[in-house]
Amino acid sequence: SEMLKEIGLMLEDESSILHQAARRNVPVFCPSITDGAFGFHLYLFQQEHDDFIIDVVKDFGNILFAATHDDKKGVIALGGSISKHHAILATLLNGGAEYAVYLTTAHKTSGSMSGATTNEAKSWGKVKDDSDVATVIGDVTITFPLVMISALEELNKDGLLK
């Protein structure tokens, strides 16, 4: 998260989520930052810069700690895998989430973490029994913008947007 903040501060694109998060001191976590080509380039960079360290265990602790700040917690999971797992584990360790929306293309029959539903999360205490939840099966690039447009329209109608 520290490296992502530094990158965000260097960006000049005002529409960048990473830039806006860095400016407002909102942490952005990427538990699988060393996965794939980007991780390989981080490794190559570290070979020539011994003082360059990305501490994924520290970031994991920061994710867990971040979930302790608020009385009510919610999760919006786009897809699944490691980022979803980290988020819901953090809520489990802190009493469970009051709200959860999972947007995914995976079905529960796949047996994967990506296909695990909000009902499964309730059974483990990751989400509270009386929480408001939804699991939406569909293409996240379509469903998430539709959800956000609807939410923003409701907030605007209620006078909660500036």
Residue 140: exposed, middle, or buried by beta-carbon count in 10 A (0-12, 13-18, 19+)? middle
Which tokens hold the place of 49? Answer: 């810069």
How far apart are the C-alpha atoms of 104 and 101, rounded to whole Å?
10
Is 126 a catalytic site residue? yes
How far apart are the C-alpha atoms of 19 and 70, rounded to whole Å?
24
> Is residue 112 within 8 Å of 158, Cβ to Cβ?
no
Q: Of the listed 84, 122, 126, 128, which one is catalytic? A: 126
**Of 119, 69, 113, whose CA–CA distance to 91 is shortest?**
69
Residues designated catalytic: 126
